[in-house]
Amino acid sequence: MSIIPIDRKMRIQAKTPEMKIEFFTDDEIERMKIFIQDKFKNENKRFKIHRRYFALLITLLRTGGRIDEVLELKPKDFDFQNNIVRLITLKKRKESYRNIPVHTELKTAIMEYLLEMHMDPRSDEKLFPMKRQSVDEYFKKMQNELGFRIHAHKFRHTFAVKAIMFGVPLNVFQKWLGHSSVFTTSNYNEILVMHTK
């Protein structure tokens, strides 16, 4: 799934004013990537930290996973032979998982990350050994430097918006997002692309 250019002046908004959906433009995504890449290229002492956040950013962007779900990922959850990633669905009472196709960018980012971090691809250890609060703080600092809102759930909305634009069927889209009800997923079908001044 390649990225479709989205005009910076466009905002996704539901028919009902209560439901506003924030998403990243292509330009904002590129600026975040460059920001983190510059950090791990120029800050040798904190290389691992920034490298980890780069892989996390790509994983959030390319899976549509909730931050707590992505933080539960293990290297063994990636099946590169079949190009799927198994993501736990934490919103359900019983433990359940969903399979999401692995985008080329995600495959490259994770394979490079595993290599650089000397992690076994079959490992049962957490892929991203960090706390939710640390992620929020990192994104907040990046937000302050780049000048636009950055939070973990915004990556999920971005994934959803792009799935809609590519015409992914609702039932498939529902499984990818881990929604228990198709009605929750259908909220995304009611969004309108509106130009703002």
Please name each of the domains of the chain with its CATH number: 10-195 (1.10.443.10)
pLDDT score recorded for residue 72:
95
DSSP per position, 71-102: TT--GGGEETTTTEEEEEETTSSS-EEEEEE-
Averaged over 141-164, what is the pLDDT? 90
More confident residue, 164 or 182: 164
Averaged over 89-116, what is the pLDDT? 88
pLDDT at 144 over 60: yes
Label residue 98 by pLDDT band (50, 70, 90). confident
pLDDT score recorded for residue 20:
66
pLDDT score recorded for residue 21:
73
Averaged over 113-132, what is the pLDDT? 95
Label residue 158 by pLDDT band (50, 70, 90). confident
Q: Look over the chain and give the mean of its residue pLDDT values, rounded to a whole number.
A: 81
The CA distance from 85 to 101, in Å, is 6
Q: Are 150 and 139 in contact (CB under 8 A)?
A: yes
Give percent above pLDDT 90 in the chain: 54
pLDDT score recorded for residue 167:
66
pLDDT score recorded for residue 26:
92
pLDDT score recorded for residue 182:
52
